[in-house]
Structure 1
């Protein structure tokens, strides 16, 4: 088998594996803090969301809290992450006004303010979410 054929086969196998599945086999929504970028009088956050569930989220409003480098609450905000189709990876951006990126110690996913899919409102969305962050950044739950 040629090397290029083997690589193509490997990609097909990896594509068949659910993108955001926990080690215990449950389907999850993976939320990754990917990047913080300075803006004029704000810090822009980039969240990468992977919907590893079979649900098509029409609403997924996250309650996020930014802490400064001393661990003191600096800002609280609501971020709408929907729409989020099943099996889809999405990028969501939001600005934290009046905050410098180098002054942010970590972000906390405090709760889910609203969550709904094709079957209506859901109460289990916080449990469905796993959080990660790129090196040098911190997103906790």
Structure 2
């Protein structure tokens, strides 16, 4: 059983590094839902975000749709990821009040509401957007 866990861990680690390598060769933003944590009457979503464009994104705000476990829209909100330096991962947390983590079924990154990147084109926050989840909650876009 331990050998299976070790092999599975090695495969997951290899896939993670392979995905990062692909991202580095692509000018894109990568957003990963890393964890969700329940609070009193809220759910905190933690994202790992990386700007692979090679130039700073001064402000990235994404229109985000949260779906319940039955596939119905719970709410539409804006997540402000702030400044994204090039090629450096950043962690961003968003606490959503009135949301139970176990009731969250899917997250849709609906598009960039704001993308300020003076040295990049206007759609830098959306072109080639890479979405992942390390949770049971699917992230789509």
The answer to whether the superposition gives a TM-score over 0.5 is yes
Cα distance change, pair 124–89 in 1 and its aligned pair in 2 (3 A) = closer
Aligned partners of 2:128, 2:35: CA distance in 1, in Å?
A: 22
Cα distance change, pair 119–53 in 1 and its aligned pair in 2 (3 A) = closer
- Does the 8 A contact of 1:64 with 1:78 survive in 2? yes
Aligned partners of 1:116, 1:46: CA distance in 2, in Å?
A: 22
TM-score after normalising by structure 2 = 0.79
Aligned partners of 1:91, 1:22: CA distance in 2, in Å?
A: 17
Unaligned runs of 5+ in 2: 1-17
Larger radius of gyration: 1
Give, in angstroms, the shift of residue 124 of structure 1.
4.0
- Does the 8 A contact of 1:18 with 1:52 survive in 2? no
Cα distance change, pair 20–106 in 1 and its aligned pair in 2 (3 A) = farther
Q: 2:59 matched to 1:37?
A: no
Pairs within 5 Å for 1:124-135: 124-135=124-135
Name the one with the larger helix percent.
2
Aligned length: 124
TM-score after normalising by structure 1 = 0.79
Q: Deviations over 1:83-141 (max 9, x none)?
A: 11001100000011101000000100011101011337723421232100014221111
Cα distance change, pair 89–28 in 1 and its aligned pair in 2 (3 A) = same
Unaligned runs of 5+ in 1: 1-16
- Does the 8 A contact of 2:33 with 2:135 survive in 1? no
Pairs within 5 Å for 1:4-23: 19=20, 21-22=22-23
